Amino acid sequence: MTLERFIHEEERMYPRATGAFSGLLHDLSLAAKLVWREVSKAGLVNILGATDRMNVSGDLVKKLDEFADETIYRAMDHGGHLCLMASEENEDVLHIPDNYPTGKYVLLYDPLDGSSNIDANITIGSIFSVFKRTTESGKGTLADCLQPGVRQVAAGYIIYGSSTIFVYTTGNGVHGFTYDPTVGEFLLSHENIRIPKRGKIYSVNEGNYANWGEGIKKYVGYLKESDASTGRPYSLRYIGTMVGDAHRTLLYGGIFMYPGDRKNPEGKLRLMYECNPLSFIFEHAGGRGSNGKQRILEIQPKSLHERTPLFLGSEEDVKICEEFLQGNR
């Protein structure tokens, strides 16, 4: 079962579908293949290394980030399905060129997540989030983007790891497709992914411990205590690429966290480009995404690049974490 066929079979469940949504997913899968092609040969061509430009988050932009950013934009700009895009690499919204038609969807994407891992040949990924526009017609506006995550109509990521996997949901289960370069297609490999109710792995940058609040310190202490009945002590795994850490958490269960701390009260991860799409996927796989106080998907965004603390994973693990954060344990 190829990704293409799967998308078309899903479309048949909606007799009134215009095909726009399927077209959009098709364009995204093409963008994923193009990015995969460059990522997989990054060590061979002179594409590794930094450019001299800083992005809006103040990080040094890598050449591969620029390539992925442009590739996704150009794969998506002319299909007539989108009225607007926004990328983690660009401060403002990205309009559809005047010579192309606009459509009813909005795309937000993180073109290359985990870019500081590129030069070490460690797993990286791309993340996307799709909304229906809220404005009636014409060019989209910022308001079309600033919708709470619960209104997403699709979300997904592509993980460029030991193999390349396209994981997405439109609300009918979470499905994963592994890229087979010999046929040039993503093939269904992980149908209807369900995250275990509780896991045995936690994932967090513990180097920030000194700046954490009491709740998160206590929770991580709890995970390290020995108690066979709850699978503790948990193992620690941390890649530093959210897509990689989240993908492992989705398959094996447990919890991935990027808490706020004294230096960065809102943490590091971006609500629109990282936390919303991953929370949408996790919820549709039976998991939970929280900022410690509130469901991530219910946060009303105020700006494109805002950040939020994130606790993402198995339902029971995230609930216990919330209890510690709220001082109830």
Q: Which residues bind ligand AFP (CB under 6 A)?
A: 59, 113-117, 205, 240-242, 245, 258, 268-269
Minimum CB separation from ligand AFP for residue 12, in Å? 35
- Nearer to ligand AFP (CB atom), residue 66 or residue 185: 66
Minimum CB separation from ligand AFP for residue 269, in Å? 6
Q: State the number of CA atoms in the 13 A half-sphere of 81 facing the CB.
A: 20
Q: Give the Cα separation of 61 and 263 in Å (integer).
A: 23
- Catalytic, out of 77, 89, 283, 317: 89
Q: State the number of CA atoms in the 13 A half-sphere of 204 facing the CB.
A: 29
Active-site annotation holds for 322: no
Minimum CB separation from ligand AFP for residue 119, in Å? 11
Minimum CB separation from ligand AFP for residue 208, in Å? 7
> Quick one: which of 127, 56, 62, 85 has its CA closest to 305?
56
CA 148 to chain centre: 15
- Nearer to ligand AFP (CB atom), residue 223 or residue 269: 269
- Nearer to ligand AFP (CB atom), residue 114 or residue 149: 114
Minimum CB separation from ligand AFP for residue 72, in Å? 15
- Nearer to ligand AFP (CB atom), residue 306 or residue 323: 306
- Catalytic, out of 3, 82, 94, 112: 112
CA 169 to chain centre: 12
- Catalytic, out of 38, 59, 185, 316: 59
Q: Give the Cα separation of 138 and 104 in Å (integer).
A: 10
> Quick one: which of 318, 242, 249, 281 has its CA closest to 152?
281
- Nearer to ligand AFP (CB atom), residue 148 or residue 240: 240
Assess contact for 86 and 110: CB atoms under 8 A: no
- Nearer to ligand AFP (CB atom), residue 116 or residue 172: 116
- Catalytic, out of 27, 113, 261, 322: 113
> Quick one: which of 309, 286, 287, 314 has its CA closest to 296?
309
> Could you tell me the end-to-end alpha-carbon distance of the chain, in angstroms, rounded to an integer?
47
> Quick one: which of 65, 57, 54, 53 has its CA closest to 119?
65
**∠ CA(61), CA(109), CA(322), 5° rounding?**
100
Active-site annotation holds for 112: yes
- Catalytic, out of 69, 77, 88, 283: 88
Active-site annotation holds for 98: no
Q: Give the Cα separation of 129 and 254 in Å (integer).
A: 23
- Catalytic, out of 11, 144, 274, 322: 274
Q: What share of the chain is helix, strand, coil (3-state, %, to 5)?
A: 35, 25, 40
Active-site annotation holds for 89: yes
Minimum CB separation from ligand AFP for residue 36, in Å? 17
Active-site annotation holds for 30: no
Active-site annotation holds for 64: no
Active-site annotation holds for 225: no
Active-site annotation holds for 317: no
Active site residues: 59, 65, 88-89, 110, 112-113, 274
